[in-house]
Amino acid sequence: MPPNLRPASPSRRELLAQLGGGFGTVALAGLLQRDRLLAAADTPAIAGRLPHFRPRATRVVQLFMSGAASQCDTFDYKPLLHQRHGQRWDPGEKVELFQSSPGNTLGSPWPWRRYGACGKLVNDCVAPLGSVVDQIAFVHNMVSKSNVHGPATFMQATGFVMPGFPSAGAWVSYGLGRLCDNLPTFVVLPDPRGFAPGGPKNWGSGFLPAEHQGTMIRAGAPDPIADLFPPKGSYVKAENEREMLRTLNLINRQYEATRQGDTRLDARIRSYEMAAAMQLSAPEVLDIKNEPQHVLDLYGLNTPDVRYDGPMNPGEETRHFGRNCLVARRLLERGVRFVQIWSGADNGFPRRNWDSHEDLRRDHWPLGIGMATGAAALIKDLEARGMLDDTLVLWTTEFGRMPCSQGATGRDHNPFVFTNWLAGGGVKGGTTFGESDEWSYKPADPTNPTYCYDIHATLLHLLGIEHTRLTYRHNGIDRRLTDVHGHVIREILA
């Protein structure tokens, strides 16, 4: 450190006064910022002015199916696929696929059944969600700008096909701030096997202040939050760790004063402060053993392994996703504003995601049953606790899959149409918006597709935010989550 930045050696009395005053100021600033009473230097356009109108939701949980879940085998029923199963598929135009030539028409390997007062047809692959379809609004005419996993995942997570842009959770954190002081605003629960394409960039803060990036928690792992506690057997004790952090904060603040406009150090300091708070709060929120047995059963946490011809089995998938959904509920009820849950890891061998090029039956069944059990449990649990009315649940994937076969039993990428659904938080349940065509190949009305911009605009609207007014100046451009697009889907609002 340069001599002019090296702190003088204060007396013990002076050091305690400086540390006490410094931390009191930091704590006060944090409380003022949380309550929108402090106009932060890096947020002049929005400080004190959000929400723009009365919100219907205060929290969001996003369920992201990595690898491209098939709309043809989950929520978008098309009788023509079954009528023409095994016959030549001909949509009346030339078709260029991601890594194959169009095969024959492929009907779903599982049956469809009607559920709820709305009579929604749901595939047996995701049958548990049939019990909550009257709380769900389905959007069947989603379109992506890419048929490549990485860019398409970025698009659904951040609104852009390129890396480097803030995720939806980061924008919500930036716009609305914290609901509590001892847990992060934005938490990410990844698939226990690894990351989706693009990895942590999908929940990064981009050009927003770094404190708004997602905090990753591996629920069920021996060390769920990396580096939160000293290693076992370490010489570091709680009391000397606190003293070290106080001294480090004093030095860092002096250094920060010479670097105006650089948010990285401030974010790191805030992360230390949050880590100190989470050392008390995180173990409790992640400890699910005191949940009642009926709740553990609801989320499928005691589901046994099921013999299955493939690298995944329905029991394991149910436990994985159910645990993350239960932890998400515990985080939401304790003040986390945005939780993102991932199903499926990056491509590898054997395959453990939704990218079913080779064998749809092998891949989609265990993932579908596991996801649907946890997601249905989450909706029921939130409703039972009176939280569903102000918690928005969003289900998405990066694109869909083709109505024709790849090989004999797989499906190739389909960026031209796929499905999203939303529940709770001001959403009109039991509804469907935007139809796909008779094949589930493209939107029925090609002039009015739905993009992630519309989903994001609707999400922000339900949080009380006018999406065109949540902006951040970067490289001379007023950037926003919805880029220069987006319309609120009012047809699905309650």
Q: What are the tokens at 370? A: 């596991």
**Which of 94-98, 133-137, 245-249, 362-366 bottoms out in mean pLDDT, i.e. has the lowest?**
245-249
State residue 263's pLDDT score: 67
| pTM for this predicted structure | 0.85
**Which of 118-122, 140-144, 348-352 bottoms out in mean pLDDT, i.e. has the lowest?**
348-352
Q: Is 270's pLDDT higher than 90?
A: no
- The gap between the terminal CA atoms of the chain, to the nearest Å, is 58
Q: What is the pLDDT of residues 387-410, one digit of tens each?
A: 999 999 999 999 999 999 999 999
Q: What are the tokens at 287? A: 């400890």
49 band by pLDDT with thresholds 50, 70 and 90: low
Q: What is the pLDDT of residues 79-120, one digit of tens each?
A: 999 999 999 999 999 998 998 899 999 999 999 999 999 999
Q: What are the tokens at 116? A: 């709820």
Q: What is the mean pLDDT of residues 330-335?
A: 95
Long-range pairs for 200-203: beta carbons < 8 A, 24 or more residues apart? 201/154, 201/163, 201/164, 202/64, 202/153, 202/154, 202/157, 202/158, 202/167, 203/157, 203/167, 203/169, 203/170, 203/340
274 band by pLDDT with thresholds 50, 70 and 90: low
**Which of 89-93, 115-119, 225-229, 336-340 bottoms out in mean pLDDT, i.e. has the lowest?**
225-229
Q: Is 337's pLDDT higher than 70?
A: yes
Q: What is the pLDDT of residues 448-490, one digit of tens each?
A: 999 999 999 999 999 999 999 999 999 999 999 999 999 999 9
237 band by pLDDT with thresholds 50, 70 and 90: low
The residues facing 194 across adjacent strands are: 191
CB 109 within 8 A of CB 431: no
Q: How far apart are CA 317 and CA 60, in angstroms?
A: 23
Q: Is 382's pLDDT higher than 70?
A: yes
**Which of 228-242, 338-352, 354-368 bottoms out in mean pLDDT, i.e. has the lowest?**
228-242
State residue 91's pLDDT score: 94
SS3 215: strand
Q: What is the pLDDT of residues 187-222, one digit of tens each?
A: 999 999 899 999 999 999 999 998 999 999 988 777
State residue 27's pLDDT score: 45
Q: What is the mean pLDDT of residues 7-11?
A: 49
Q: What is the mean pLDDT of residues 368-382?
A: 98
Q: What is the mean pLDDT of the chain?
A: 87
29 band by pLDDT with thresholds 50, 70 and 90: very low
State residue 239's pLDDT score: 66
Q: How far apart are CA 227 and CA 222, in angstroms?
A: 12
Q: How far apart are CA 409 and CA 357, in angstroms?
A: 8
The residues facing 414 across adjacent strands are: 400
259 band by pLDDT with thresholds 50, 70 and 90: confident
State residue 182's pLDDT score: 86
CB 441 within 8 A of CB 105: no
Q: How far apart are CA 390 and CA 393, in angstroms?
A: 10
38 band by pLDDT with thresholds 50, 70 and 90: very low
Q: What is the pLDDT of residues 13-24, one digit of tens each?
A: 444 444 444 444
State residue 45's pLDDT score: 40
275 band by pLDDT with thresholds 50, 70 and 90: low
Helix orientation angle between 238-256 and 12-34, rounded to the nearest 10 degrees: 80
State residue 240's pLDDT score: 72
- Cα maximum dimension of the chain: 86
Better pLDDT: 193 or 76 = 76
Q: What is the pLDDT of residues 291-326, one digit of tens each?
A: 999 999 999 999 999 888 888 899 999 999 999 999
State residue 248's pLDDT score: 75
